[in-house]
Amino acid sequence: MGVTVSQSVRIDCGTRLSIECVEALHQEMEQAVRDAQDIFLKADDVQYCDTAGLQLLLALVQTVQAAGLQISWQGVSDVVRDTSKLLGLTSALLLATD
């Protein structure tokens, strides 16, 4: 009769979610998945994002779901929402629509 305790990690996307930042963010995300942790994304401070940044998030969402883990948002800036909507990624990134 074991109890499974789900560990979680918060990943802060910072103020820029763009191509020059994806390598460092990717390493942090990869470690969280490798450690089998549920992930909370904090993106409410993002002031700029591009397709590379959103592509990284999309790959993370897909990887986490395939691993049977949970991923959720703790905050999302209007920039991330607007860019995701423009690229048709709102649903794929699990961003709730208002």
Residue 68: left if φ>0, alpha if ψ -120 to 50, beta else—which one? left
Q: What is the pTM of this model?
A: 0.83
CATH code for the part of the protein at 8-86: 3.30.750.24
pLDDT score for 72: 92
pLDDT digits (tens, 9 = 90+) for 43-95: 999 999 999 999 999 999 998 889 888 999 999 999 999 999 999 999 999 99
pLDDT score for 98: 55
Residue type, 98: D
Q: How far apart are CA 85 and CA 82, in angstroms?
A: 5
Place of tokens 């401070």: 45
Cα-based torsion angle of the residue sequence 37, 52, 91, 46 in order, rounded to the nearest 10 degrees: 80
